[in-house]
Amino acid sequence: MTKSMQYETVALDDDGDALVILDQTKLPGEVVSLRLTRQEDIRRAIRLLQVRGAPAIGAAAACGLYLAAKSIDADDYDAFYERLKAAKDALAATRPTAVNLFRALDRMENVASAHREQALPRIKTLLRDEAIRILEEDAAVCRAIGEHGLGLLRDGDGILTHCNAGYLATTRYGTALAPIHLGLERGYRFKLFVDETRPLLQGARLTAFELCAAGAEPTLICDNMAACVMKSGRVQAVLVGCDRLAANGDACNKIGTLGVAILAKHYGIPFYVCVPTSTFDPRAATGDDIPIEQRAPEEITEMWYEKRMAPRGVRVYNPAFDVTDHELITGIVTEHGVLRPPYGESIRRVMRDGGA
């Protein structure tokens, strides 16, 4: 494994007995792997962001559903399917926004349904194969995003990123950080600016950790500093990830992404959304159709502080994501290439033809 990717974010253990994740709530202070076998622990890991990032939660849920299937002791397919479906629905209820979670679970369910005539042990094997396929496909897709994204950058560029869309959010390379990892491996010297990303600090805790571990020397900034860094001329491109891309190109990503996109437009800086087509949701016509997760007020009022920093009882609004209007996006970097406006058309074309 290269220096850029020292840690494994999500995997099925060699015997197919457990989901293995890097506990991201402990980073950067402690690097701890968790070996999860029980459904409630897997669901909890997704809900608490021990594993997070759209592709990673899809892969974790797929492994989780395989583990659920493996433990089902049923006499016939119908009884097996009823319990599989209950496990699927429970995993799907963990987080609402990243479409990869639902995509991956649907893929798993479809494998079971398509082979309903087969013996149950065979169906379980096929489910394990599908979970592994989801893990492996993600790594290949992210690498392709990295190649296409790197083609948009020049040696020495200043690049700003928000949240963590690196290998900690996927199975390898990342999406928005994939061009950076590949560039670093090839000797590019980027000047990297990392938004801390309030309130859960995915930038400060995860992106800064991931990039430092890769040998880069990122500069961490508070979210409210992005404007002045851009104004100073030090940013040549913004790269962000995506949790769900609507059919018109509106991109839902970590809260704060919209503000970064507006600033980039103001200062004439290209704003790229790096996203696998598994994150496209053709059923969402625009960003308004994307469900936005609301999270606990304590993430704002007291988490990370030694003592509570807001008056008790204060009303808190804590949406975990926002939607960047497609008009603000310079290009959408997918595994098949870079899509340009008008996005309705370019998205339809890539969904129909893929890389062809």
Catalytic residues: 243
Site membership for ligand MRU, residue 58 (CB under 6 A): no
Site membership for ligand MRU, residue 256 (CB under 6 A): no
Strands (E), 186-231: 191-195, 219-221
**Residue reference for tokens 């076998």:** 37
Site membership for ligand MRU, residue 96 (CB under 6 A): no
Tell me which of 4, 9, 171, 202 binds ligand MRU, using CB under 6 A: 202
Size of the site for ligand MRU (CB under 6 A): 19
With H, G, I as helix, E, B as strand and everything else as coil, classify residue 206. Answer: helix
Tell me which of 54, 68, 84, 350 binds ligand MRU, using CB under 6 A: 54
**Residue reference for tokens 């890769």:** 214
* Cα distance between residue 260 and residue 355, in whole Å: 30
CA distances, 153 to each of 159, 166, 218, 237 (Å):
9, 17, 17, 8
Residue 199 preceded by cis peptide, ω within 30: yes
Site membership for ligand MRU, residue 241 (CB under 6 A): yes
* Cα distance between residue 237 and residue 307, in whole Å: 37
- Least distance (Å) between residue 226 CB and ligand MRU: 15
The stretch among 28-36, 72-80, 101-109, 163-171 that binds ligand MRU (CB under 6 A) is 163-171
CA distances, 8 to each of 22, 55, 92 (Å):
7, 14, 23
Binding mask 311-350 for ligand MRU (x = CB under 6 A): ---------x------------------------------
Residues of span 23-52 touching ligand MRU by CB under 6 A: 49, 52
Contact 164, 176 (CB under 8 A): no
- Least distance (Å) between residue 170 CB and ligand MRU: 5
* Max CA distance (Å), the chain: 68
CB of 169 or CB of 333, closer to ligand MRU: 169
Interface residues with ligand MRU (CB under 6 A) are 49, 52-55, 98, 163, 165, 169-170, 174-175, 202, 241-243, 253-254, 320
